[in-house]
Structure formats: structure tokens, C-alpha cells
Amino acid sequence: MAHERSIIAIDVGNTRAKFGRFAISRSGVITPVEIVARMLNATDDLSQAFQQWWAGQHCPQPLAAMVAGSDPDVRDELIGRWPLKQCDPTVVNSYQQIPVTVDVDVPARVGIDRLLNVYAASKLLKLPQPVIAVDSGTATTVDLMTSDGMFRGGSILPGLRLSAHAMHDYTARLPLLNFDETLSTDLPEVPGRNTESAMRAGLFIGQLGAVKELASRLTDAAMGRFGEATEPHLFVTGGGGRQLVEYLPNATYVDSLALHGLAMLCFA
């Protein structure tokens, strides 16, 4: 539409870079238009990949571009070769750039993606409520933000892909399972009747059980230690989140929650 403006959000992770375009209505509502993920390897030219993706969007110069990433070298290489000369990117690399109070021992060491996740989750709810954000990527994070806008911390555990690689790399005979491709959301059968099915059951059901237990304990902390009147709303994101959300009651899946957070920072 002629009045539509756009924000670009880019999140450079450990194994993938995600590009997102968000439309802004006249009333300020931010809506995702397209989100894509690109696997990273040593030969990638991320700036060229981004430029090719943007060329396919067929829209005017964006209003703003927001960039964050857990891999600062790849992120900075992209910034150094930034192709959109009339739209300088804003790099989000400090917790102080996100309007969330960080109530942990060392705020500067909290991953920016974790803060963007809870910030986006709280904004999507529109009302002050506690949230738990589960991000199942290379690592899986399960984090709590209370209704007063305080990030209270959470838990970090190996994600599905990282766990699969560890089982293969540190054993003599276990195969490498592929968790990069889209898999069925059906729970693996137990007991597994061969090595691969036993591994898949252990990895996926083990991850699901860990996330459920951690979310339950964070809920107890929110309502007990932090005095919340209602249970936190559970948001799930990340590649493994598409499978996990099917088995997490009352959970909401959002594709690339951190990208939503980056786009929302334009109006913070």
C-alpha cells in the first residue's frame, strides 16, 4: 500500500542470520511482512545475501534498520558492508538500549536476544503481565520478565541441534541427527526401537520436559517470590520452538521474537 512504511530487523545468531521486514501502519501498528533465516558458514557474504533479499522485497527505502547479534564479528562485517546508503543501521549491542530493567548480577552479560525476546513478548500482550520467553535455537533459553518490566533472569541449556552434535561428536557410534530441517511435530515414539529413534526421543522429549519444568519453576517464582497475581504468559520462538509449542499448554508461538523486539525498539 502507498502509505506503508517498513522497518528492517536483522539478528545474527551463532548458526543463522535472520532478516525481517515489518510494515508500520499510519497508527503505528508494526506487522511482520516477511522473515527469512540463512544458515551461516565461513564462505558466506552476509551483506550480499541481505542485499539480494532486500531487492526481492520491492518496496521503498526503509524507515529504519535495526541490527543485533550474538556473533559480533559477523554482525560488524555486515555493518561494514552495509548496502543501503540512505538508511544507516542502528546496532543494538547493550542492555541499556532496551527499555527493560535487568535485575540480575551482571546486566551487561545478559544476551541481547534474551532481552529482546521478553521485551517483544510484553509488548505483544499490550497490558502489564508477566511473561516467560522460550527460545529454542543453538541454545535454549527460558526467561522471566515480571509485569513491572523487570527481567528476572532464567535458564540456558543446550538446544536440539547442539545436543545432537554433542552426542555424535563425543561418542564412537552415535549418528548425527539433523534438526536443521523442518520435522514432524508428532512426539517421537517411546521406547525407541533403533538407535536413531531412541536418540530422537531422548533429545526431543528431554528438551520438552526440561522446558516444562523450567517454565513451571519460573511461574512459581513469579507468583511466590515476585508477587504476581496471574501466571506468566508463555511465548515460544526459535527453530525448535515450532515443535515444542504443540506440547506446551497455553503457549503462543512467534516466529523470530527477537526480530519483533528490534522492530518495536524504533518506537520505544
Sheet of strand 131-136: strand arrangement: 101-102, 150-158, 139-145, 131-136, 233-237, 251-253
The answer to whether the beta carbons of residues 39 and 15 sit under 8 Å apart is: yes
The DSSP bridge pattern shows strands 16-24 and 64-69 to be: unpaired
Q: Write down the catalytic residue from 11, 113, 135, 143.
A: 113
Write the DSSP assignment of 152-205 as a string of letters: EEEEEEE-HHHHHHHHHHTSSS------SS----SPPPSS-SSHHHHHHHHHHH
- 129 within 8 A of 230, measured Cβ to Cβ: yes
> What are the grid coordinates assigned to 24, written together?
508500520
Sign of the C-alpha dihedral, residues 131, 241, 67, 31?
negative
Q: Has 71 been annotated as catalytic?
A: no
**d(C-alpha 106, C-alpha 62), whole Å:** 35
Residues labelled as active-site residues: 113
